[in-house]
Amino acid sequence: MATNLQIDDNLIIKAVKLGGHKTKKAAVSKALSEYVCHLEQEQILPMFGTMEYDSDYDYKKQRNRP
Protein backbone atom coordinates (compact mmCIF):
# COMPACT_ATOMS: atom_id res chain seq x y z
CA MET A 1 0.00 0.00 0.00
CA ALA A 2 1.52 3.28 -1.06
CA THR A 3 1.46 5.98 1.61
CA ASN A 4 2.63 9.56 1.50
CA LEU A 5 3.89 10.98 4.78
CA GLN A 6 5.21 14.36 5.80
CA ILE A 7 8.21 13.48 7.98
CA ASP A 8 10.72 15.97 9.36
CA ASP A 9 13.72 15.73 7.00
CA ASN A 10 16.28 16.14 9.77
CA LEU A 11 14.62 13.42 11.83
CA ILE A 12 14.46 10.86 9.03
CA ILE A 13 18.04 11.59 7.94
CA LYS A 14 19.23 11.09 11.52
CA ALA A 15 17.22 7.85 11.84
CA VAL A 16 18.67 6.47 8.60
CA LYS A 17 22.21 7.35 9.66
CA LEU A 18 21.98 6.10 13.26
CA GLY A 19 20.16 2.93 12.28
CA GLY A 20 22.55 2.15 9.46
CA HIS A 21 19.64 1.84 7.03
CA LYS A 22 20.10 2.09 3.30
CA THR A 23 16.76 3.80 2.68
CA LYS A 24 14.24 6.03 4.39
CA LYS A 25 11.67 3.27 3.92
CA ALA A 26 13.85 0.83 5.86
CA ALA A 27 14.21 3.30 8.73
CA VAL A 28 10.46 3.95 8.89
CA SER A 29 9.65 0.23 8.68
CA LYS A 30 12.06 -0.55 11.53
CA ALA A 31 10.64 2.27 13.64
CA LEU A 32 7.07 1.10 13.10
CA SER A 33 8.02 -2.50 13.83
CA GLU A 34 9.65 -1.54 17.14
CA TYR A 35 6.70 0.73 18.03
CA VAL A 36 4.22 -2.12 17.48
CA CYS A 37 6.41 -4.48 19.54
CA HIS A 38 6.54 -1.93 22.36
CA LEU A 39 2.75 -1.52 22.36
CA GLU A 40 2.27 -5.30 22.44
CA GLN A 41 4.63 -5.57 25.41
CA GLU A 42 2.69 -2.86 27.25
CA GLN A 43 -0.42 -5.06 27.06
CA ILE A 44 1.33 -7.58 29.33
CA LEU A 45 1.97 -5.09 32.17
CA PRO A 46 -1.50 -5.39 33.74
CA MET A 47 -0.85 -9.12 34.24
CA PHE A 48 2.03 -8.52 36.67
CA GLY A 49 1.05 -9.51 40.19
CA THR A 50 -2.05 -11.38 39.07
CA MET A 51 -0.54 -14.80 38.42
CA GLU A 52 0.08 -17.41 41.05
CA TYR A 53 3.45 -19.07 41.23
CA ASP A 54 4.82 -22.20 42.85
CA SER A 55 6.94 -21.15 45.82
CA ASP A 56 8.69 -24.56 45.74
CA TYR A 57 9.90 -24.09 42.16
CA ASP A 58 13.68 -24.43 41.94
CA TYR A 59 14.94 -22.61 38.86
CA LYS A 60 18.50 -23.77 39.53
CA LYS A 61 17.40 -27.38 39.32
CA GLN A 62 15.93 -26.70 35.87
CA ARG A 63 19.29 -25.38 34.66
CA ASN A 64 20.95 -28.73 35.35
CA ARG A 65 18.53 -30.80 33.27
CA PRO A 66 20.24 -33.13 30.78
Q: Count how many Cα atoms sit within 13 Å of the Cα of residue 65 in the half-sphere of its side chain.
A: 4
pLDDT greater than 80 at residue 64: no
Q: What is the pLDDT of residues 2-49, one digit of tens each?
A: 889 899 999 999 999 999 999 999 999 999 999 999 999 999 988 888
Q: How confident is the model at residue 65 (pLDDT cuts 50, 70, 90)?
A: low
- Burial label, 3 (beta-carbon count in 10 A; 0-12, 13-18, 19+): exposed
